[in-house]
With several copies, the nearest count.
Chain A
Amino acid sequence: METPLSTKIEAILFFRGDTVTVRKLAQYLEVHEEKIIEALKELALILSNRGIVLIQHNEEVMLGTSACLSPVIEKITKEELSRDLGKAGLETLAIILYKEKASKREIDYIRGVNSGFILRNLLIRGLINREEEKGGRGYIYSGTTELLAFMGVTNAEHMPEFESVKAELEQFLLTPKDSETETNAC
């Protein structure tokens, strides 16, 4: 059985987590816009009484959380921002500061674990900035001015033992990644 259009739309909207135009949806799913509009009506019906709702505005649609749940969501947002950074958060932040600019690949490689979630949290907490890497391969992270000010330094270079730590990090990233040198990592 062919998957209903409304189901496909639901998946796309969920994945994007942002507004998508009806035109784009029609393009992605290779059907006429009228079909999309029809399916959206269906989807809105399916999603009534659910935690996720369909928000439609002009030609744009997106999924959102039901309004009656905003107190819970607010609580979570607050908690996310005030939570302890924890060991992993501090380590990630330290690498970004001492390296001055670090890509996700470099951070992961130095820490030996994936830093995706932590980087996301540091970003929404305004502790790090990101900019797109040249060639569009990913992002480069650096500490925010607010963060440096909070720690009482005007520049990452004023961090204690800055030169030697930075040099050691660079050295490590330059070392060829053959299996012999890495076996004892875990």
Chain B
Amino acid sequence: MNEGAFTIKTEVFEGPLDLLLSLIEKRKLFISDISLARVADDYISYVKNIGQFPIGMTANFILIASTLLLIKSKSLLPNLSLTEEEQGSIEDLEQRLTIYKRVQDVSKHIAEKFGTEIIFSKIPNKRVTPVFSPDEDMTTLAMLESMKRVMESLPKKEVLSKTVVKKIMSLEEMIDKLTDRVQLSLKMNFSDFAGTHGGTKSSGARHSATREERVLIIVSFLAMLELVKQGIIEVNQNTFSDDIAMETQTLGVPHYQ
């Protein structure tokens, strides 16, 4: 796409924040709404290709994608007004990226030290003769109880939390609305796209773009919205085919299909 999309398919990312950070760093940018708007396309084209991820992971990627779409739409259409909540989610993402970067930086200290100069503890003495010392609690029934407790806590298949499911479902609506808002803003402010004036801070990169190019950018952005929407629907469908379906029905939330 524009600005030369990076080939990122072969790399493995720990999650959406890891992916975003590496996209920003590859372009040698700092964490800001401007840089996030610039890497949004790369991010979405990556998410598009991750169908094989566990469902929880895809959900995480999509939640971040929706915030990126907000940032991107604001950068394309500076006159688009965002709600307080939307503005909040943008600031939140920037903060999270900042602290996550810090964590990645200090994790290098751990990598440097781990296993380099080890403090060894004493080897347990092999000469100690065991002295049979039972405990009152040791009955066959107590053993069975303990065993059952262990088996209950054995790892089970991943289930999405109610909060995530709710968020993902409200996202579909959000994307629909955003599509409407972008289209509306496009009609109302068509002169903005004549390319004769730029001026707004976030349109810097596209300053000299021709009108045709600008319309193209907006159209491809609408396509991006559609992509994310498809992703959301996919997550929802997969989710509903799972255990979570029962849970969500009791929540009384609408069931998209």
Chain A residues at the B interface, C-beta cutoff of 8 Å: 14-18, 53, 55, 62-68, 70, 73-74, 77, 81-85, 87-91, 93-95, 97-98, 109-114, 116, 120, 123-127, 144, 146-154, 158-161, 165, 168-169, 172, 175, 177, 179-185
B142 within 8 A of A: yes
Given A94-B150, A151-B110, A183-B158, A18–B140 Cβ distance below 8 Å?
Answer: no
9 tightest A-B contacts by CB?
A113-B15, A83-B115, A112-B17, A126-B132, A152-B117, A126-B130, A64-B119, A185-B161, A17-B122
Residues of A within 8 A of B167 (CB): 181
In the bound complex, do residue A64 and residue B121 qualify as a contact, i.e. CB atoms below 8 Å apart? yes
Distance (whole angstroms) from the CB of B197 to the closest CB of chain A: 38
B127 within 8 A of A: yes
Chain B residues at the A interface, C-beta cutoff of 8 Å: 14-18, 54, 56-57, 60, 63-64, 92, 95-96, 99-100, 102-104, 106-111, 113-128, 130-135, 137-144, 146-147, 149-151, 153-164, 167
B150 to A, closest residue via Cβ: A91
Distance (whole angstroms) from the CB of A166 to the closest CB of chain B: 10
In the bound complex, do residue A184 and residue B159 qualify as a contact, i.e. CB atoms below 8 Å apart? yes
Distance (whole angstroms) from the CB of B85 to the closest CB of chain A: 10
Given A110-B100, A113-B57, A159–B121 Cβ distance below 8 Å?
Answer: no
Kindly identify which residue among B131, B143, B153, B163 contacts A94, using a CB–CB cutoff of 8 Å. B143
Given A87-B146, A91-B146, A150-B134, A112–B117 Cβ distance below 8 Å?
Answer: no
Distance (whole angstroms) from the CB of B159 to the closest CB of chain A: 6
Residues of B within 8 A of A161 (CB): 106, 109, 144
Kindly identify which residue among A77, A82, A127, A179 contacts B120, using a CB–CB cutoff of 8 Å. A77
Given A150-B114, A182-B155, A184-B155, 5 other A-B residues pairs in contact with their CB atoms under 8 A: A65-B119, A90-B111, A153-B140, A160-B109, A182-B164
Distance (whole angstroms) from the CB of A147 to the closest CB of chain B: 7
Residues of A within 8 A of B160 (CB): 184-185
In the bound complex, do residue B154 and residue A172 qualify as a contact, i.e. CB atoms below 8 Å apart? yes
Kindly identify which residue among A16, A114, A146, A159 contacts B132, using a CB–CB cutoff of 8 Å. A146
In the bound complex, do residue A172 and residue B95 qualify as a contact, i.e. CB atoms below 8 Å apart? yes
In the bound complex, do residue A175 and residue B107 qualify as a contact, i.e. CB atoms below 8 Å apart? no
In the bound complex, do residue A18 and residue B60 qualify as a contact, i.e. CB atoms below 8 Å apart? no
In the bound complex, do residue B140 and residue A17 qualify as a contact, i.e. CB atoms below 8 Å apart? no
Complex-state Cα separation, A126 to B167, whole angstroms:
36
Distance (whole angstroms) from the CB of A71 to the closest CB of chain B: 8
Complex-state Cα separation, A180 to B159, whole angstroms:
10
In the bound complex, do residue A181 and residue B157 qualify as a contact, i.e. CB atoms below 8 Å apart? yes
Complex-state Cα separation, A151 to B132, whole angstroms:
13
Kindly identify which residue among B16, B95, B130 contacts A124, using a CB–CB cutoff of 8 Å. B130
Distance (whole angstroms) from the CB of B250 to the closest CB of chain A: 14
5 contacts between A and B (CB under 8 A): A73-B120, A94-B103, A151-B114, A160-B106, A161-B106
In the bound complex, do residue A90 and residue B119 qualify as a contact, i.e. CB atoms below 8 Å apart? no
Given A18-B127, A111-B100, A67–B109 Cβ distance below 8 Å?
Answer: no
In the bound complex, do residue B120 and residue A185 qualify as a contact, i.e. CB atoms below 8 Å apart? no
Given A94-B147, A159-B143, A165-B102, A150–B115 Cβ distance below 8 Å?
Answer: yes
Complex-state Cα separation, A169 to B56, whole angstroms:
25
Residues of A within 8 A of B128 (CB): 124
Residues of B within 8 A of A15 (CB): 120, 122-123
Residues of A within 8 A of B102 (CB): 165, 168-169
Residues of B within 8 A of A154 (CB): 119
Distance (whole angstroms) from the CB of B210 to the closest CB of chain A: 38
Complex-state Cα separation, A123 to B107, whole angstroms:
18
In the bound complex, do residue B60 and residue A182 qualify as a contact, i.e. CB atoms below 8 Å apart? yes
